[in-house]
Structure 1
Amino acid sequence: MTTNPQETTPNDWDTRSPDVQADQVAAYDAMRSKCPVAHDDYMGYSLLKNADIKYALEHPEIFSNKVSTRHIAVPNGMDAPEHTAFRAVNDKYFTPDRMQVFEPQIRQVVKSLVSKLPRNEVFDAMDGFAQLYAVRIQNVFMGWPASLEQPLIEWVEKNRRATLAGDREQMGKIALEFDGYIRALLDERRGADAAADITAELIQDVIDLPQDLGGPRTMTDEELISLIRNWTVGELSTVSACAGIILAFLAEHPQEQDRLRTSLAVGKTAEIAAAVEEVMRLQDPLVTNRRVTTQPVEIGGRSIPAGAKVTINWASANRDEDAFEDATTYNPHRSQENNLVYGQGLHVCPGAPLARLELRVLMEELLATTDLIEFGGANPTQNAVYPAAGYSKVLTRIS
């Protein structure tokens, strides 16, 4: 019989409790000071300190990304050398040259969406705008049809609910539904009149695997679907959260709005980029990632056995007082050396260049086409619950 290494470990908290979910950021801040490596049955050992998380990221041979033996996850659920080969193909789609070519397309999408926002009336930014913003940019980037927008929005919401409920049977059905969308897109791009887009390129890409792993080859459909799922699901949920986080931040800081509008008017776009980076640090759009230990390890003063589930808590790491002076205070001119919004090391977020571009353009267009962004009414925000980040409601008024 195989023993679960966490069965006899006492719990320090319950990450799914109403108290934690009511305000995840505050709960993680509080636990970080009391118990920097906190255990519970759902997340296993949560690493909450910036330095401890950096150690885990720097030692993938101890903290493995291969957390599932049932499903492949390309490339984020792989370890080297397999990860290295798949990541090389992944990264060629997020080069500076590609981002420069794609920027006008992103800006056109964002301009159109922002221009349709209601003026001088209260609306919920999370209901319609945030999700549509994420899906539409993703579709344009991948070369997918507009008819896929609504199914993807609905799919993301179904997936979120099933994940929150821990309903593995439903999660499996939802995953198969997504696979069906992607298989259809792949089949269309194998025809004689196939569109020349990223999805079509991926079909032809060669993974330069070492000989002991089979040698160079193209990806299987299962691998293609997994890679595309990683891009799509990761981007849609986090970028949607980012839209709400940015709008809520601007509404809460009218003086910073004015400063950034002035910077934008004189072409200082670096100020916008710096503001986005700091806003994301304060309220990370991705709460956690998983790891599994390959050997016993001591970290943060705690002994963790081999085979244990470990959770990297990005939201906590980026508000760590030992990593940032006045960590919970907005300061766009601070050093971002310890900012782990996009991770670090071998598994640094592959889509970081695209995310930074999307968010900079979003903030630029919001500021350029408005005079004031403010909250609408009492209790204008409602915190999202795990696995989502940011807000589930942002009541906003723009003029």
Structure 2
Amino acid sequence: MTEPVRLTRHADVIAAAQDPERFSSRTSHHLHVPNGMDGAEHRAFRDVVERQMTPELVASLEQMLQTTAREVVAALPRNEPIDAVADLGEVFAVRAQCRWLGWPDSLESELREWMAENYAAARAGDSSRNAAVAAWFDEIVTRQVTAHREATTPGGAADDATHRLLAERVHGRPLSDDEIVSILRNWTAGDLGSLARCVGVVVHRLAERPRWQQRVRTLAQQAPHATAELDAILGECLRLDDPFVANKRVTTCPVTTPSGVTLDADSPVLLDWTAANRDADVFSPGFDPEAHAEHNLVFGAGPHVCPGRDLSYAELRAITVALLAGTDGIDFAPDRTPTRHLPPLAGWATLPVILR
């Protein structure tokens, strides 16, 4: 198998992300809706996904997200070590996702077990183990789709994201079961771990930099009036320690990138978001949310830019505000060392902290 060419310069990554005709997203034989699609097909399915994440829908979820975040923070002990990734990030990610999708809270433990096995399989690099983990998740999703379909009454209101997805149409027809499962897999299999890692990145930054912790604590007290500044700070935390490492592409013809990287047709490519977000030609040294926001690639770029960006910010903002509103301080736990995820993952695997 040909090793992929990793694009690391900001200009190269932007150019490739914005050029789906020459940098195709069809990199797998498996169905990936809509991430593994191009052109009109991608647009049709992308429209379906975007209808589930409109600004109005995200705004309607904010109270639920805030309530869920306060529940999770309130249940954590004070003045003794906790793991900010597992005990805070994972619990919030799973519970908030279940409530958004209309899945039962009783599913939380199974989803967390799946997340642990998914991490282990990714580290092991064992294709059969990865396939088993994927099959397990597909079974979880299929079970929920079946339950929602059986609970749907003629003319009934679509009151959660799963019901709304079942009512969707593309090219004038209902979505197939495989398409529904693929979309839900994309929303959950990727997003659960991603949100937990985002929480870890933010909490680490706040524990490491007391001045910024105090600034964010002040903004948390002013929420929702300080949303723009708070989101810029969260985005800068993620830019500096990007939990979304890379996305695959394949060239459809010979290409030369803006920095001069020459690629043959059918070359596998990795868009390295982490490296691009630290490109010294674009970003000045240090932590500067306002100056760096315009060029931040945490949620991608181009036609495949993350459609859940607004929802992700709403989730991360809710848990950050709840954490800082519910505590007087966040410190690293003494004598306990945080650990990083090993490739292909990024971010913190464990982050022992003490909530005051």
Deviations 1:49-107 (CA, angstroms, capped at 9, x unpaired): 111000101111111111012x1100001001100000001001111111111000000
C-alpha contact (below 8 Å) 1:285/1:389 kept by paired residues? yes
**Partner of residue 52 from structure 1, selected from 12, 20, 26:** 12
**Partner of residue 355 from structure 1, selected from 312, 320, 327:** 312
Amino acid at match of 2:342: V
Deviations 1:347-379 (CA, angstroms, capped at 9, x unpaired): 000111110101111211111111111111145
**Partner of residue 46 from structure 2, selected from 87, 99, 119:** 87
Distance of aligned partners of 1:186 and 1:260 in 2 relative to their CA distance in 1, 3 Å threshold = closer
Give the equivalent residue in structure 2 for 1:9.
Answer: none
Give the equivalent residue in structure 1 for 2:344.
Answer: 387
Distance in 2 of aligned mates of 1:289 and 1:336:
21
Distance in 1 of aligned mates of 2:45 and 2:86:
36
Amino acid at match of 1:149: E
**Larger relative contact order, structure 1 or 2 (CA cutoff 8 Å, min sep 6):** 2
Give the equivalent residue in structure 1 for 2:22.
Answer: 62
Give the equivalent residue in structure 2 for 1:206.
Answer: 169
Query: How far is the alpha carbon of 1:280 from its aligned partner?
Result: 1.1
Give the equivalent residue in structure 2 for 1:228.
Answer: 184
**Partner of residue 209 from structure 2, selected from 253, 260, 265:** 253
Distance in 1 of aligned mates of 2:81 and 2:13:
40
Query: How far is the alpha carbon of 1:260 from its aligned partner?
Result: 2.3
C-alpha contact (below 8 Å) 1:241/1:388 kept by paired residues? no
Counterparts in 2 of 1:110-121, with a 5 A limit?
110-121=69-80
Query: How far is the alpha carbon of 1:396 from its aligned partner?
Result: 0.3
Deviations 1:293-347 (CA, angstroms, capped at 9, x unpaired): 1112122322222112111111111111111122xx1112224111111111100
* SS of residue matched to 1:46: strand
Q: TM-score, normalised by structure 1?
A: 0.84
Give the equivalent residue in structure 2 for 1:271.
Answer: 229
* SS of residue matched to 1:94: coil
C-alpha contact (below 8 Å) 1:287/1:313 kept by paired residues? yes
Give the equivalent residue in structure 2 for 1:297.
Answer: 255
C-alpha contact (below 8 Å) 2:102/2:161 kept by paired residues? yes
Q: TM-score, normalised by structure 2?
A: 0.94
Counterparts in 2 of 1:50-199, with a 5 A limit?
50-69=10-29, 71-191=30-150, 196-199=159-162
Q: Which runs of 5+ in 1 are unaligned?
A: 7-40, 209-215
Distance in 1 of aligned mates of 2:132 and 2:337:
35
C-alpha contact (below 8 Å) 1:238/1:389 kept by paired residues? no
Distance in 2 of aligned mates of 1:63 and 1:157:
33
Deviations 1:94-124 (CA, angstroms, capped at 9, x unpaired): 1111111100000000000011121111222
Query: How far is the alpha carbon of 1:173 from its aligned partner?
Result: 1.9
C-alpha contact (below 8 Å) 2:239/2:277 kept by paired residues? yes
Query: How far is the alpha carbon of 1:192 from its aligned partner?
Result: 5.1
Distance in 2 of aligned mates of 1:291 and 1:363:
33
* SS of residue matched to 2:294: coil
Query: How far is the alpha carbon of 1:385 from its aligned partner?
Result: 1.1
Distance in 1 of aligned mates of 2:209 and 2:340:
18
Distance in 1 of aligned mates of 2:167 and 2:231:
35
* SS of residue matched to 1:123: strand
* SS of residue matched to 1:189: helix
Deviations 1:171-209 (CA, angstroms, capped at 9, x unpaired): 22222211211222112222255684221221121013x
Distance in 1 of aligned mates of 2:116 and 2:97:
16
C-alpha contact (below 8 Å) 2:92/2:319 kept by paired residues? no
Distance in 1 of aligned mates of 2:307 and 2:182:
14
Distance in 2 of aligned mates of 1:197 and 1:393:
32
Amino acid at match of 2:113: E
- Structure with bigger helix share is 2
C-alpha contact (below 8 Å) 2:236/2:292 kept by paired residues? no
Amino acid at match of 1:205: E
Amino acid at match of 2:340: N
Give the equivalent residue in structure 2 for 1:288.
Answer: 246
Deviations 1:250-280 (CA, angstroms, capped at 9, x unpaired): 1001111222222333443333222111111
Distance in 1 of aligned mates of 2:85 and 2:151:
40
Q: Which runs of 5+ in 2 are unaligned?
A: none
C-alpha contact (below 8 Å) 2:80/2:355 kept by paired residues? yes
Distance in 2 of aligned mates of 1:296 and 1:76:
23
Distance in 2 of aligned mates of 1:335 and 1:302:
25
Identity %: 38
Distance in 2 of aligned mates of 1:265 and 1:178:
38
Q: Which runs of 4+ in 1 moved over 6 A?
A: none
Distance in 2 of aligned mates of 1:198 and 1:255:
39
Question: For the aligned residues, what is the CA RMSD?
Answer: 1.6
Give the equivalent residue in structure 2 for 1:15.
Answer: none
